[in-house]
Amino acid sequence: MTTASNVTVKDSSQLAKGDIVLTHGMRVRLDFGASHKRSDCTVYAWTGTVLNRDKVREEGHVPMSFLRTWRWQPGMGCVTDRKDVWVVQGNELAEWIVENPS
């Protein structure tokens, strides 16, 4: 269990590579991000690695198919690329619980 002293709340604009975001029962390490400026806000999307995939599967937090990415493999068609991906996305109004580094 994570206690309040072990976490920080950040909005989407404050997230950084390597942050571990707690969302939907997952611990997602942010690997790379992108942003898109709109007329009314900036939208952020971070692709991350789910660090506790076995626990997520056991507890059924999200369907395992949601953690997959696909790629085209010549001669084989569409194949599973990864099984541990989650995208953390939102604008400056979205807030995230982030583990503090130990």
- Going residue by residue through the chain (102 aa), what tens digit of pLDDT does each one get? 445 679 999 999 999 999 999 999 999 999 999 999 999 999 999 999 999 999 999 999 899 999 999 999 999 999 988 999 999 999 999 999 999 987
Q: What domains are defined for the chain?
A: 10-95 (2.30.30)
- Please report the pLDDT score of residue 101 as a whole number: 82
- Please report the pLDDT score of residue 5 as a whole number: 73
Q: How far apart are CA 44 and CA 90, in angstroms?
A: 5
- Please report the pLDDT score of residue 3 as a whole number: 52
Asked if 27 and 20 touch (Cβ cutoff 8 Å), the reply is: yes
Handedness of CA 21, 24, 28, 33 (dihedral sign): negative
Q: How far apart are CA 19 and CA 60, in angstroms?
A: 23
